């Protein structure tokens, strides 16, 4: 058996021979090749510097638009942000953009890994008690959570002792980004509050696929006629926004999707403009939602006409 040391020595010898061959060749060919390489390097550096300067100019331009197109554009709106453990970064970016626009973000709720493991006996028993279900089937429990949480955010709760959201928080199935006292908890949900579901990035090992929980939750919100927004990043191995766009139970333009919330400045402006359009339904013949971003039907609202599938 040939040892790994032999392989290392062989590779080093090949690399050295290759490098020496290049040097020998250039000395024979004269200095023209070396000069050409220098020119190519200088050109590449100039192109890089020009691209960086252009990107910086675009970033400054977008930053200059934020006070007009984003800041304080949604004053008096209330929203709840929902995300999933392990893919929560877009939630922070969405909450920041919403806050800058004047939205009162009541809480960011994170669905924990325990909801990804309803097959575990203790988790199943706890969820059965919270949801009032007799079945311990993992799929039935996931469906029950999606529907119960959507209905809770749609209609709110009148009593803490019967609050599904409070029970999910107490059981560790959901966490919040702040302490929710009884009064604050009862203020979440109902009243036409926005629900912004934000998730994406590299796919974690313990988080369920979007189709298992977040997509049914989104579908239920749309069926309940809740103003709903799905948000994700430009690079998204998790695929939440794409899954929502492909969902058969969600009619085109019945909600807002934004697939580039992390795009410097632009993502936040797009989110705010899209929500503003969703709330201001000026054309009764066209549903006011839309798919926006680098893979959407339009980069920002108004950049192009809505597709025919958006017509009522």
Dump pLDDT digits (tens) for 117-128. 777 888 889 999
Which tokens is 274 given? 């899209």
300 or 44: which carries more pLDDT confidence? Answer: 300
The token pair that represents 79 in the structure block: 């929203």
pLDDT at residue 301 is higher than 90: no
pLDDT per position as a tens digit, 42-70: 787 877 777 666 555 555 555 655 666 67
Q: pLDDT at position 41, please? A: 78
The span from the CA of 187 to the CA of 221, in Å, is 18
CA distance 292 to 231: 10
Helix (H) or strand (E) holding 51: helix 32-69
Reported confidence tier of residue 285, pLDDT bands at 50, 70, 90: confident
- Residues, the chain: 312
Q: Distance between CA atoms of 230 and 84, rounded to whole angstroms?
A: 13
The whole-chain average pLDDT of the chain stands at 84
User: pLDDT of 89-127, one tens digit each?
Assistant: 999 999 999 999 999 999 999 999 888 777 788 888 999
Provide the whole-model pTM.
0.80
CA distance 69 to 137: 47
138-152 residue pLDDT tens: 888 989 999 999 999
Q: How far apart are CA 145 and CA 284, in angstroms?
A: 34
Ranking 13-17, 42-46, 136-140, 285-289 by mean pLDDT, the lowest is 13-17
C-beta of residue 99 within 8 angstroms of C-beta of residue 105: yes
Above 90 in pLDDT, residue 243? yes
Q: What are phi and psi of 104, to 5 degrees?
A: -85, 100
How many other CB atoms are there within 10 angstroms of residue 186's CB atom? Answer: 18
pLDDT band of 2, cuts 50, 70, 90: very low
| pLDDT surpassing 90 at residue 211 | yes
Contact 92, 294 (CB under 8 A): no
């Amino acid at each position: 058996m040939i040892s790994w040391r032999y392989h290392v020595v062989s590779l080093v010898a090949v690399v050295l021979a290759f490098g020496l061959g290049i040097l020998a060749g250039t000395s024979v060919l004269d200095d023209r090749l070396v000069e050409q390489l220098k020119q190519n390097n200088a050109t590449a550096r100039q192109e890089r510097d020009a691209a960086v300067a252009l990107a910086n100019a675009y970033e400054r331009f977008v930053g200059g638009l934020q006070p007009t197109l984003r800041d304080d554009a949604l004053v008096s709106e209330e929203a709840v942000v929902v995300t999933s453990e392990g893919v929560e970064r877009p939630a922070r970016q969405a909450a920041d953009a919403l806050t800058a626009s004047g939205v009162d973000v009541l809480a960011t709720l994170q669905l924990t890994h325990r909801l990804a493991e309803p097959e575990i006996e203790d988790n199943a028993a706890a969820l059965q008690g919270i949801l009032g279900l007799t079945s311990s089937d993992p799929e039935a429990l996931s469906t029950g959570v999606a529907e119960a949480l959507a209905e809770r955010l749609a209609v709110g709760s009148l009593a803490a002792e019967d609050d599904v959201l409070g029970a999910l928080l107490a059981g560790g199935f959901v966490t919040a980004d702040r302490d929710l006292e009884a009064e604050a908890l009862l203020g979440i949900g109902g009243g036409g509050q926005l629900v912004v579901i934000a998730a994406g990035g590299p796919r974690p090992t313990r988080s369920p696929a979007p189709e298992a929980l977040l997509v049914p939750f989104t579908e239920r919100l749309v069926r309940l006629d809740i103003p709903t927004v799905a948000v994700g990043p430009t690079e998204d191995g998790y695929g939440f926004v794409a899954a929502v766009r492909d969902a058969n139970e969600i009619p085109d333009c019945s909600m807002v999707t934004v697939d580039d919330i992390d795009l410097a400045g632009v993502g936040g402006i797009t989110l705010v403009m899209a929500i503003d359009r969703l709330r201001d339904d000026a054309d009764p013949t066209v549903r006011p939602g839309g798919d926006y971003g680098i893979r959407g039907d339009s980069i920002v609202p108004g950049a192009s006409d809505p597709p025919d599938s958006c017509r009522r």
